[in-house]
Amino acid sequence: MIPGMATAAAARVRVTCDAARPACGIVKDYVFDLYYPIHRVSWRDKLQCSPVLLFIEYLVYRADAVAEAGKDIDLDTVRNRDYVALAAYKARFIRVLQRLAIYDRCAVREIEMGEEYLRLENRVTSSGRADHGEVMRLAELRPSDVRLLHCLLFGLVDRPCDEVLAPVPSAERSR
């Protein structure tokens, strides 16, 4: 075995498991316990939707892990490996959703908001300071992954996007 290979493999497994656990919890708490019952999703549709929604939430947590790893570096100014990884996750999200024919305006909005959240969170954690507007915007953006799951459910069961969970636009955006 090549020296360091076992360590690298163990790190990849750890990252995979670290992302899978919370993804399963979010899908259970929101999709299974809330969205499916509220929208009276059939068992057939649940079997079709659940793996896709779990995979999407898993990708969200993988992207979050990359952002967390780069919390000491402003990824908007330093184009390092973490920045490239985040761009790759976004591209992967979009490809998966396009292949499933559920990449619509609702998905675009939630992916953009999720990306805004990761970038703003990274900027705040790397600088060690935040103003009131940034803190408020972080609070508004935080549940974007849960809203993404909700809007994707509609696409998977061929229903129009439910605008009820759409976020209230912020009057002040921190950039």
Exposure class string for 91-106: b at 16+ Cβ within 10 A, else e:
eebeebbeeeebbeeb
For residue 172, name the pLDDT band (cuts at 50, 70, 90): very low
Inside any domain, residue 172: no
Inside any domain, residue 66: yes
Over the Cα atoms of the chain, what is R_g?
Answer: 17
Count of CB atoms situated within 10 Å of the CB of 20: 15
Inside any domain, residue 121: yes
- What distance lies between CA 62 and its chain's CA centroid? 8
Instruction: Note down the domain range covering 102.
Output: 5-165
For residue 108, name the pLDDT band (cuts at 50, 70, 90): very high
Which has the higher per-residue pLDDT, 76 or 53? 53
Of 107, 86, 89, the residue nearest 155 (C-alpha): 107
170 has pLDDT over 50: no
Inside any domain, residue 52: yes
For residue 105, give the 3-state DSSP assignment: helix
Looking at the structure of the chain, the number of domains it has is 1
For residue 46, name the pLDDT band (cuts at 50, 70, 90): very high
pTM of this structure: 0.77
- Across the range 109-129, mean pLDDT stands at 88
Of 19, 15, 17, 109, the residue nearest 60 (C-alpha): 19
Inside any domain, residue 147: yes
How do residues 9-23 score in pLDDT, each as one tens digit?
444 545 556 778 899
DSSP string of 64-84?
A: HHHHHHTTTS-TTT---HHHH
- Across the range 116-128, mean pLDDT stands at 87
Which has the higher per-residue pLDDT, 72 or 147? 147
Inside any domain, residue 142: yes
Which has the higher per-residue pLDDT, 155 or 175? 155
Inside any domain, residue 156: yes
Inside any domain, residue 105: yes
4 has pLDDT over 90: no
